[in-house]
Amino acid sequence: MNSTLLKLLLPVAICHAIGHVTSTVSFAAVSVSFAHTIKALEPFFNAAASQFILGQQVPFTLWLSLAPVVIGVSVASLTELSFNWTGFINAMISNISFTYRSIYSKKAMTDMDSTNLYAYISIIALIVCIPPALIIEGPQLVQHGFKDAIAKVGLTKLVSNIFLAGLFYHLYNQVATNTLQRVAPLTHAVGNVLKRVFVIGFSIIIFGNKITTQTGIGTGIAISGVALYSVIKAKIEEEKKCLCPAQEGVAAVAP
């Protein structure tokens, strides 16, 4: 690590920290299934950022595929039993933060492998989180948070749950980062959609989250839209990869 690399990774880490903190707040404020339904809007923000911030033309077919996502999230939000603005707004902030993380990541592309890159981003993000955590929650966390939690579940269970939650949360993101470099875009896209379907279904079964028929329909529409968007985007990226060698060959034989 040097000052140049730190300057490149700092914006990525800040967006990474904000995205994960707001995601966690959202999971606490609304049902996990609904939070993931809102987070299905992330491709919409990615497309908007590509078009209007990076100046990259987004094909019309991609914009069309995002319509079901927006409609599905809207339908699900109207009748969601656990809906509140804290959860909704934090999930939306998380979407925006992860979009900017993608933008800054592209600018900070280095020769570092994905495992080390994610480790550095996570460490910097942790350091970024410490000052606001101490200022905003410091005194109350010790006085009320830990004491109340220990009284409720016991010290051993509290520490082991925090450790396991942190470990699995990190591994989930680490594996996702590593997988992106090792599989075709279409495979990763399909895996990402299946992951969201699994998380939503699993949370409904395990936590017993009650959902209305309209919320279920809206969630289904949103996930279908994400699947359609992911497949179209992956095919476009694969076509670009196929065209690049052909264009290089034409350039090589040109006089």
Q: Give the tens place of pLDDT for each residue, 88-102.
A: 999 999 989 988 887
> How high is the pLDDT of residue 190?
67
Q: Taking the complete model, does pTM exceed 0.75, yes or no?
A: yes
CB atoms within 10 A of CB 161: 12
What ranges do the domains of the chain cover? 3-235
Task: Indicate if the pLDDT at residue 85 is higher than 80.
Answer: yes
Task: Quickly list H helices, 57-146.
Answer: 60-79, 85-107, 114-140
> How high is the pLDDT of residue 34?
84
More confident residue, 150 or 234: 150
What is the distance between the alpha carbons of residues 28 and 189, in angstroms, rounded to a whole number? 27
What is the distance between the alpha carbons of residues 23 and 16, in angstroms, rounded to a whole number? 11
Long-range residue pairs from 58-61, CB within 8 A, at least 24 positions apart, any chain: 59/232, 59/236, 61/232
> How high is the pLDDT of residue 243?
65
Task: Indicate if the pLDDT at residue 138 is higher than 50.
Answer: yes
* Helices 85-107 & 42-52 angle (0-180, nearest 10): 50
Confidence of residue 253 (pLDDT cuts 50, 70, 90): very low
What is the distance between the alpha carbons of residues 41 and 90, in angstroms, rounded to a whole number? 13
Q: Specify the range with the lowest mean pLDDT, choosing from 10-14, 27-31, 51-55, 171-175.
A: 51-55
Q: Determine the 3-state secondary structure of 100 from DSSP.
A: helix
> How high is the pLDDT of residue 187?
65
Task: Indicate if the pLDDT at residue 120 is higher than 80.
Answer: yes
The sign of the torsion formed by the CA atoms of 177, 183, 188, 191 equals negative
Q: What's the pLDDT tens digit per position in 59-68?
A: 888 888 888 8
Question: Cβ distance 72 to 78 under 8 Å?
Answer: no
Q: What's the pLDDT tens digit per position in 161-200?
A: 999 999 998 888 888 777 766 766 556 666 777 777 788 8
Question: Cβ distance 75 to 219 under 8 Å?
Answer: no
Kindly give, in sequence order, each residue whose CB lies less than 8 Å from that of residue 60, ignoring residues fewer than 6 positions away. Answer: none
The gap between the terminal CA atoms of the chain, to the nearest Å, is: 45
> How high is the pLDDT of residue 143?
74
